[in-house]
Amino acid sequence: MAFPRSALRNTYFYDATDPEVVLGGFRQNGSVTEANFLSFLDILLVTQGGTVRVQARISGHIVTRTNVPLATGAYDIYCDGRIEISNEPSVHRLFSRSVSGKETRFRDEIRARDRKCVISGMINDDISIQAHDWISFEAAHLFPLLGESIWIELDYGRWITDMDDSLQSSKIDSAQNGFLLRSHVHQKFDQYLISVNPDDGYKVVVFNCDVDGLDGRILDPVCRDPANPHCVSDQLLRWHFRQSVLANMRGPGEPIFEHDFPPGTDIVGEILAGPYGQERFELEMAARLRGVC
């Protein structure tokens, strides 16, 4: 069963001309500032001219581009022109990790560079590394492997600078398209429930309940050292963060796909009966063919 992102929201926004219809919302865990909120709305809204004003419904407070934490609650958006929600496509993805060995180089380069979960800060100690014990640490792709056709179509390989252009590769398995995460953080990252904003000091934003206390942390510098030619790409971090805003804040939000099916479950039936059933089924089949789930 898909989990609705809107169920955990505590902050909502509306078109002031139609205050009963929610345009979207999100879970404010404390790290989102007023300036952040306005930048999120820049992604989510399309306005037809005029100045936009965002005002707290109860207090009347006008939201400005300051670093003051955004208060939870309802916000009305005023604009001289028409307000519409962006229809920018959202890239759906599955929780996945390689079991085929095809991404071994990617995994090994990520491990060698990061040596820790770069979001939680949890370190894999030297003894474990020497013993090749990486249990609960996984190399995560920023842009998903199963979206490689989109990657190629939009030429996202131009953001990769540590692989030779002459290689017959889309560069999607560059270490610049990934970092090391704890397993459960990887799951949330793949579902766009946690992300990193490279335009706000690499701040971590959690879009569901912050049970791990990760909201507001800073992405560890070990993976983004510009002196390292394999450092994570800011452009790909920015892409993932934009997708997270779209997935979590627009309308009711994108569905969170169930991935834990007990033995005996009609998995195909449940997938096809769920949201984006056919698309997800095709993603699952592609994942099995590629060997990444």
Query: In this predicted structure, what is the pLDDT of residue 164?
Result: 79
Residue 187: count other Cβ atoms within 10 Å of its Cβ.
18
67 and 129 part of one domain: no
Query: In this predicted structure, what is the pLDDT of residue 263?
Result: 65
108 and 206 part of one domain: yes
Q: Starting from the edge strand earliest in sequence, which strands make up the sheet with 11-15, in order?
A: 22-26, 11-15, 73-79, 52-56
C-alpha count within 13 angstroms, C-beta hemisphere, residue 223: 32
pLDDT tens track for 176-228:
999 999 999 999 999 999 999 999 999 999 999 999 999 999 999 999 999 99
Query: In this predicted structure, what is the pLDDT of residue 103?
Result: 67
240 and 112 part of one domain: yes
46 and 142 part of one domain: no
Statement: residue 260 has pLDDT above 70: no
Q: Of 233, 249, 265, which residue sits at a domain end? A: 249
How many domains is the chain built from? 2
pLDDT tens track for 128-152:
999 999 999 999 999 998 888 889 9
Contact 249, 241 (CB under 8 A): no
Mean pLDDT of 29-39: 98
Query: In this predicted structure, what is the pLDDT of residue 244?
Result: 97
Q: Residue 143's domain spans which residues?
A: 104-249
265 within a domain of the structure (yes/no) = no
128 and 45 part of one domain: no
164 and 78 part of one domain: no
| Band of residue 98 on the pLDDT scale cut at 50, 70, 90 | very low
Neighbouring-strand partners of residue 218? 203
Q: Of 225, 249, 273, which residue sits at a domain end? A: 249
110 and 189 part of one domain: yes
119 and 242 part of one domain: yes
98 within a domain of the structure (yes/no) = no
| Band of residue 90 on the pLDDT scale cut at 50, 70, 90 | confident
32 within a domain of the structure (yes/no) = yes
Query: In this predicted structure, what is the pLDDT of residue 95?
Result: 53
- Within 8 A by CB and 6+ apart from 289, the residues are none
Statement: residue 259 has pLDDT above 60: no
Mean pLDDT of 263-291: 53
What single string gives the DSSP state of each residue in 118-144? TTT--B--HHHHHTT--TTEEEEESS-
What single string gives the DSSP state of each residue in 216-238? T-B--GGG--TTSTTPPPHHHHH
71 and 117 part of one domain: no
Contact 205, 197 (CB under 8 A): yes
3-class DSSP assignment, residue 10: coil
125 and 9 part of one domain: no
Query: In this predicted structure, what is the pLDDT of residue 232?
Result: 98
263 within a domain of the structure (yes/no) = no
Query: In this predicted structure, what is the pLDDT of residue 100?
Result: 41
267 within a domain of the structure (yes/no) = no
284 within a domain of the structure (yes/no) = no
Of 39, 219, 203, 209, nearest to 120 by C-alpha is 219
Of 257, 266, 269, nearest to 95 by C-alpha is 257
69 and 197 part of one domain: no
Average pLDDT value over all residues in the chain: 87
3-class DSSP assignment, residue 90: coil
48 and 138 part of one domain: no
Statement: residue 277 has pLDDT above 80: no
Of 73, 68, 61, nearest to 33 by C-alpha is 68
- Within 8 A by CB and 6+ apart from 54, the residues are 13, 37, 38, 41, 62, 63, 75, 76, 77, 78
255 within a domain of the structure (yes/no) = no
Of 248, 245, 182, nearest to 212 by C-alpha is 182
Query: In this predicted structure, what is the pLDDT of residue 273?
Result: 52
